[in-house]
Structure 1
Amino acid sequence: MTQNDATRPAIRCNSVWQVFGSGARDHLDKALAQTGHDPEAAAQSLRGLRLVPAVQDATFDVQSGELFVIMGLSGSGKSTLIRCISRLIEATGGEILIDGDNILEASKSRMTELRRGKLGMVFQHFGLFPHMTVAENVAFPLKMQGRAKADRVERAHEVLELVGLAGREKAYPRELSGGQRQRVGIARSLAANPDIWFLDEPFSALDPLIRRQLQDEFVEIQARLKKSIVFITHDIAEALKIADRIAIMRDGKIVQIGTPAEIVLNPVDDYVREFSKDVAKGRHARVQSVMRPVNGVIPDGPALRQDMTLEAALATCIAKYAPVPVHDAGGNLIGTVDPSDLASALQAEDP
């Protein structure tokens, strides 16, 4: 049964492979046939031929309006995978469906049409034209579409206001900070109002403070626009902060896909567990991830919401307890501490 527009994912990847080396496609087909389509055995066979299976049998959906993060260490295959999905490089095998159409079979003219209208891209290096003003950089995709100048200018002003750069339309890239240049890159990718947005480590070159600020702004923009997004990062804190779901890659393979709470609370192996070992789990997991069904007895106590973080829920529960004494090293009473103050001191601000 064919999925209709309402239920069809924005992106569907079916057994996507990217193999580097001479004759990769023929060797991949042969390896899969010889191993009964066993991805691990096929990859091992390819390595024996001195080929590099950079992406192995990647299968997942990105739902309409979902922010899907792909993360992993350097060399895990995450950037190669997003380049396959956006067809900046040709995947060796599998299917990549965008709105139901297999883009691996699309003509060059069709891909140009998609990139000018439906697909937006932001990369780590800003790629701005130094001889163009901010507004001209942002309006450039619209110029390529043949839109009228007045229309281009109006749209450039709209998206620059959206990313917090109203008033800088006439500035040149050299006059902007790194964070401002990245905002211009984001605005340019939004100018054509794409349905699907690819971002490859867009904030990794920025200072930590600017990076956190842009993450916050990015989350706010997504809350308003509800784009279908594939976002690449190597930073687990960034992934947990912005993602609806996360795919973690290792050696070209996707090893786990889940919500931030699932990744933190239920890692599938030591590799995933290592990513999240220093994460304050209470900041990302919600009450609904640990609650149990009511078994007939309605408990007394503070009312919690299922969407509260574990930190916030714990602070609410602790607030009902009375202050406790504090002693010095000699056992002398020197003060008291309220459990709620302990919880407040440990609780992070909601992102």
Structure 2
Amino acid sequence: MAAAERTGEADGGERAVKIACRNVWKVYGPKAESYFPDGDGRSDDPDALVARLREDGLIPAAADVSFDVRAGEIFVIMGLSGSGKSTIVRCLSRLVEPTAGEILLDGENLLRMDAKALTDLRRHKMGMVFQNFGLLPHLTVLENVAFPLKVQGVGEEERRAKALEMIELVGLDGRDQAFPRQLSGGQQQRVGIARSLCVDPELWFLDEPFSALDPLIRRQMQDEFVRLQTMLHKTIVFITHDFLEALKIADRIAIMKDGRVVQIGRPSEIVLNPATDYVREFTEDVPMVRVITVADVMERGEAAADGAPEVTPEMTLEAILPHFADADSPLTVLDRTGAAVGRVTPKRVLRALAEHGEAPARGDEREPA
């Protein structure tokens, strides 16, 4: 399913910014704050400041990080180990205290919140899922899922009903009285997801939640995650080092290296137009059929013939290739209102794949009239 379809974004519309990083730094070492006298993290030359910090023996784990996450968006942050991706997601929730910069939630700077307001925010507006499942072994599935509501002071009957609802949502109905040791890894992670959703968070942070799972279970959990987002439309920051995982779930991706964001864009933008050699190497093994979309290859304007199969701009070439298995006639492209906005032909598809090394160019590439 295309990202825009999951989020319900309207054609041509842009969702409001839910949470934003502005020049965020996390520097480990003595007197790190002294390098940022104004506290806002702004620097005329961030590269020079990073070099100076390292020369002085400090570690800039996150350096001048800025991005916006829109309401209902899955924003994926990627990078190799040590790139700063987990540091920055912890800064967003202030589990790690940023050294400088701003983190704005609906326009309010979280770094100015006192401890009580921050605790209240985490309890009511944030959900978090981490690689290690973090379940309490002496509690049942039901008790684990209901635990955040218990912390909030919600009554027993209400939290039980809400927990059972979340357990059913993640496909574990009937296992509410099981203990974590009686569950598989995938089931335990489903409990973690249900627990994080129990407070109905506005923001959902997931830090490599599926990386400890076996490949088959991991794919199943990715499918489950996409299904849940289709229903819930949460604002999500998702950390991973797996580009294929990012392709499956992301609306937009930020690539990090050495604490810096080096590129932000839609998956197809990053793969087709890498900003640096690092990004190019990071994405070089990605199958183009999973990246290139109808919007990248379509002819805008004239639709295909009446009765032609219909596709949408967000669909990948992988999704539309079966249409060409038994016929080589063009497909009609429909926008979100159902209006025909163009067509896509087999030659356009082949040309796009050939340009990126995944298909041979075949004969004359001129388009039919």
* TM-score when normalising by structure 1: 0.84
Partner of 2:314, secondary structure, is: coil
* SS of match in other structure, 1:142: helix
CA distance in 1, matches of 2:270, 2:143: 42
Alignment of 1:137-152 (within 5 A): 137-152=144-159
Pair 1:277-2:284 in alignment: yes
Residue 334 of structure 1: aligned partner:
none
What residue in structure 1 maps to residue 198 of structure 2? 191
Question: How far is 1:310 from its partner?
Answer: 1.9
> Which amino acid in structure 2 is aligned with residue 11 of structure 1?
I
User: Cα offset for 1:28?
Assistant: 3.7
User: 1:170 & 1:318 partners in 2: Cα distance?
Assistant: 49
Shift of 1:284: 2.4
* Aligned CA distance change for structure 1 residues 31 and 143 (closer, same or farther; 3 Å): closer
Q: 1:287 — aligned with what?
A: 294
- TM-superposed deviation, 1:29: 3.8
Q: What is the DSSP-based 3-state SS (H/G/I as helix, E as strand, rest coil) of the residue aligned with 2:278?
A: helix
* Partner AA of 1:208 in structure 2: P
> Which among 22, 27, 36 is matched to residue 35 of structure 2?
27
1:123 and 2:130 matched? yes
1:183 alignment partner AA = R
Counterpart of 2:279 in 1: which secondary structure?
helix
Range 23-32 or range 58-67, more displaced: 23-32
Structure 1: gaps of 5 or more residues: 1-5, 323-338
Which residue identity lines up with residue 21 of structure 1 in the other structure?
G
2:256 aligned residue: 249
Closer/same/farther in 2, CA of residues 247 and 139 from structure 1, 3 Å limit = same
Question: Cα distance 1:184–1:32, how it changes in 2: closer, same or farther (>3 A)?
Answer: closer
**Is residue 28–residue 42 contact of structure 1 (8 Å, CA) maintained in 2?**
no
Query: What SS does the corresponding residue of 2:17 show, helix, strand or coil?
Result: coil
CA displacement 1:71-119 (0-9 Å, x = unmatched): 1000000000001011001101110011111111100000110111000
The answer to whether residue 136 in structure 2 is matched with residue 134 in structure 1 is: no
1:95 and 2:95 correspond: no
Task: Give, in whole Å, the separation in 1 of the partners of 2:157 and 2:104.
Answer: 35
SS of aligned partner of 1:10: strand
What's the TM-score once normalised by structure 2's chain length?
0.80
Taking the aligned partners of 2:100 and 2:153, their CA distance within structure 1 comes to: 35
Matches of 2:314 and 2:284 in 1, distance apart?
23
Q: CA offset at residue 293 of structure 1? A: 4.2
Unaligned runs of 5+ in 2: 1-13, 330-345, 351-357, 360-369
CA displacement at 1:263 relative to structure 2: 1.5
For these two proteins, the number of residue pairs brought into alignment is: 318
Give the alignment partner of residue 211 of structure 1, picking from 218, 237, 258.
218
| Identical positions, percent | 57
- For residues 310 and 23 of structure 1, do their structure 2 counterparts lie closer, same or farther at Cα, with a shift above 3 Å needed? same
Question: How far 1:317 moved relative to its partner?
Answer: 4.5
Aligned to 2:231: 224
Structure 1's 147 and 31: CA in aligned 2 closer, same or farther, altered over 3 A?
closer
Alpha-carbon shift at residue 204 of structure 1 (Å): 0.5
Letter of the 2:246 partner, please give it: A
Shift of residue 277, structure 1, vs aligned partner: 1.1
Over the aligned positions, Cα root-mean-square deviation in angstroms equals: 2.6
Contact 1:31–1:42, Cα closer than 8 Å, also in 2 = no
Answer yes or no: is the 8 Å Cα contact 1:31–1:45 preserved in 2: no
1:171 aligns with 2:178: yes
Secondary structure in 1 matching 2:117:
helix
**SS of equivalent residue, structure 2 residue 186:** helix
Residue in structure 2 matched with residue 39 of structure 1 by the alignment: 46
Which string of whole-angstrom CA distances, capped at 9 and with x for unpartnered residues, describes residues 163-218 of structure 1? 00000010111111111111000000001110100000000001000000000000
| Rounded Cα–Cα distance in structure 2 between residues aligned with 1:28 and 1:298 | 56
* AA at the equivalent of 2:25: W
Cα offset, 1:292, TM superposition: 4.6
- Deviation sequence 1:300-342 (CA, Å, 0-9, x none): 79666333322344554564359xxxxxxxxxxxxxxxx9xxx
